[in-house]
Amino acid sequence: MKQIDMMRFLHKQFQGNEDLVVQAYARAEDKGEVKRKSNTYGMSSEEYARRLFYTHVQTEALASPPSQTLPPSRVKGFSL
């Protein structure tokens, strides 16, 4: 799944709650459900997710619906 689609899905799923979106995105990246092209700066998945969240919130890119729906089973096991 594309990064922006995962962010959009999680943003909608967690009603824009930054911490939940970031944690769920980081978990998805760690599980290989979404991938980066590179990790030049050695950022953790959580730091990368937070930066991605801010970038897309600032550009309002998260307002668009995801182009692909993530099956609920992928998020069902998410817990804090």
* Domain assignment of residue 28, given as a range: 3-74
The C-alpha atoms of residue 34 and residue 6 are separated, in whole angstroms, by 7
The domain tally of the chain equals 1
Does residue 17 belong to any structural domain of this protein? yes
Does residue 80 belong to any structural domain of this protein? no
pLDDT at 80 over 50: no
Residue 13: count of CB within 10 angstroms of its CB: 17
Does residue 64 belong to any structural domain of this protein? yes
**H/E element holding 21?**
helix 18-30
Does residue 79 belong to any structural domain of this protein? no
pLDDT tens-digit map of 10-63 = 988 998 899 999 999 999 999 999 999 888 999 999 999 999 998 887 776 656
Q: What is the pLDDT of residue 59?
A: 74
pTM strictly above 0.75: no
Q: What is the pLDDT of residue 48?
A: 94
Does residue 59 belong to any structural domain of this protein? yes
Does residue 57 belong to any structural domain of this protein? yes
Q: Please tell me the chain's helix, strand, coil percentages from 3-state DSSP, rounded to the nearest 5.
A: 55, 0, 45
